[in-house]
Structure 1
Amino acid sequence: MSYVILCDSGTDLTPELKAREEVIKVPLTLTLGDENFIDDDNLDAMDFLQKMKNYPDTPKSACPSPEEYLKHFNKADEVYIITLSSKLSASYNSAKIATDMYREENGKSKVYLIDSKGASASQTLLANKLIELKEAGRGFDEIVKEIEVFNAAKDTLFVLESLENLRKNGRLTGIKAFIAEALNIKPVMMADKEGNIIKADQARGINKACSVIAELTVKQADKSGSRALVISHCSCLERAEKIRDMITEKHKFDRIDIVETGGIATLYASEGGIVIGC
């Protein structure tokens, strides 16, 4: 039975995922003033990053329309959809509208919508898991049950080099951002089980923050029994590899992927940002 995995572009696709015809990216739109960028495989993330650095105001993003999801539903017998946390983006709601419309027309159908309750590397984990289950011969209902358990257990953690985009997007007041930058404080954050972003810890300096996020990842992986790790990085491969090495000294993973952030993760993480899914 054929299947497709529709990933909104919050999902940072590995080369393996990009090469699979079953995996389809449904792009968000990124906006800097009057200039729009479609967050698809043609987006030059480094060019976008440079333009974002030079842009004085708040970068914006817009979710795909329901029609952008719906147009792919008839490509396969089973449809799996992975979106950014519904607490962070309207992408989930848009995909839900598409799913409801399709079911109204077609009756009971094999469409499964997944609120990742995270972003970036966390969504990559879900895409990898879906493929693993399909290749193991699992049926649709079995996959739904297993993914729900997997999604509830996984974690998303991140650390940022700069707080500027958090400030611009109202996540930090200007005073807090100024004090944090002046003291070189780097917050280490994670998604809670509802998909909200919360501060897990903080450190003075990015090197210490990398150690903290590595320690937190090991702690979360030990608790959940995670055997898969994805590290997304925004133009800082060496940092991602260093964090991977710190993590794997203390916890064994069966699979590790390091991938560069796509457009939407680049917009919020900015240069030097790290996102971990485990």
Structure 2
Amino acid sequence: MSFLVVMDSCGELTEDMKESGHFASVPFLIDIAGSHFVDNERFDMKRFLRLVKESPTVARTACPSPERFRKLFSPEAERIYIVTISAELSGSYNSAKLAQDMEDEDHPGRKIHVFNSKSASIGETLIARKIWACEKEGYSFEHTIETVEAYIESQVTWFVLETLDTLRKNGRLSNFKAALATALKIKPICSSTPEGAIQQAGQARGINKALVRMVEMAAEAAGHAEQKEIAVSYVECPERGQMVLDALKERIPAKNYILLPASGLTATYANEGGIIVVI
């Protein structure tokens, strides 16, 4: 093993990434309604989403500790890359930086770099795959970092939510506004900012119209994506995810297209029916 990519569990791993031996995932911890979940391959999505619907309060999440990151640092890896959810959304990036500092103290000169994805979910996945592509091309550690940081700056994340319950429960949307939006079937279309925060980019009445508009907006912003990968993540709605991916294929020529079920952390905020697109 010459290199290792460690992602926090907000990002998803494709099957070829799992089989390569070059990727590892460090889990978030999630608590809701007295139940404790570890966001890993044994995560019980159906039970979790049921508790989300039933609970009057939002789930509480805890990012991986520096020690949990370090436990995955294989001594065989000459180069270690860490990819985290946007630093604007979680403390995971700071935790990973602390892990890097601690490793530098114990093993001076070890090559480690932490990438702030400025994204989430499959945004992390695509960044990790970009690292993999650079390594396959034989790029140096420094050239890989430079190339991937430029890729992150070019990336945009889009998402549409089926329900506004989480925004209502955590106080980001008043009960009145949430009820009004629900009654009118208004679905917000959101995107990432260059800094990695979340902004509302539009809205539509009805989930299908919102998804169509999201695809249109993503296509308008995509530019030349012929050498890029485009990815869609979904929360317990594979048919909807496939529909969005097919629509993106028609509008945006790309090198590759990926469709993945969302992680537990993504489901915490996107809820059942949520769709995430990253270009």
TM-score (normalised: structure 1): 0.96
Question: Which residue of structure 2 lines up, in the alignment, with residue 221 of structure 1?
Answer: 222
Equivalent positions of 1:1-278 (< 5 A) are: 2-75=2-75, 76-222=77-223, 227-278=228-279
CA separation in 1, counterparts of 2:156 and 2:107? Answer: 35
Asked whether the 8 Å contact 1:32–1:60 carries over to 2, the reply is yes
CA separation in 2, counterparts of 1:152 and 1:77? Answer: 26
Q: Deviations over 1:184-227 (max 9, x none)?
A: 10000011010110001100100100101101111221167662
TM-score (normalised: structure 2): 0.95
Count of aligned pairs: 278
CA separation in 2, counterparts of 1:160 and 1:225? Answer: 28
Deviation at 1:170, TM superposition (A): 2.6
Asked whether the 8 Å contact 1:154–1:224 carries over to 2, the reply is no
Asked whether the 8 Å contact 2:85–2:120 carries over to 1, the reply is yes
CA separation in 2, counterparts of 1:174 and 1:224? Answer: 40
CA separation in 2, counterparts of 1:229 and 1:163? Answer: 26
Deviation at 1:62, TM superposition (A): 0.5
CA separation in 2, counterparts of 1:88 and 1:47? Answer: 25
CA separation in 1, counterparts of 2:25 and 2:199? Answer: 27
Asked whether the 8 Å contact 1:165–1:270 carries over to 2, the reply is yes
CA separation in 2, counterparts of 1:41 and 1:120? Answer: 15
CA separation in 2, counterparts of 1:87 and 1:37? Answer: 23
CA separation in 2, counterparts of 1:274 and 1:72? Answer: 30
**Structure 2, unaligned stretches of length 5 or more?**
none
CA separation in 2, counterparts of 1:4 and 1:116? Answer: 17
The one-letter code of the counterpart of 1:42 is R
Deviation at 1:277, TM superposition (A): 1.0
CA separation in 1, counterparts of 2:171 and 2:86? Answer: 18
Q: Deviations over 1:64-115 (max 9, x none)?
A: 1110011222431111001011110111111111111111232232101000
Q: Percent identity?
A: 36
Q: Deviations over 1:243-276 (max 9, x none)?
A: 1222222210111000000100111111110011
Between 1:187-196 and 1:128-137, the stretch displaced more is 128-137
Between 1:238-247 and 1:59-68, the stretch displaced more is 238-247
CA separation in 1, counterparts of 2:107 and 2:33? Answer: 41
Asked whether the 8 Å contact 1:5–1:23 carries over to 2, the reply is yes
CA separation in 2, counterparts of 1:10 and 1:57? Answer: 21
Kindly report the root-mean-square deviation, in angstroms, between the aligned alpha carbons of the 2 structures.
1.5
CA separation in 1, counterparts of 2:100 and 2:36? Answer: 27
Deviation at 1:169, TM superposition (A): 2.2
Deviation at 1:229, TM superposition (A): 0.4
Asked whether the 8 Å contact 2:225–2:255 carries over to 1, the reply is no
Deviation at 1:135, TM superposition (A): 1.2
CA separation in 2, counterparts of 1:38 and 1:26? Answer: 10
CA separation in 1, counterparts of 2:31 and 2:210? Answer: 30
Deviation at 1:46, TM superposition (A): 2.1
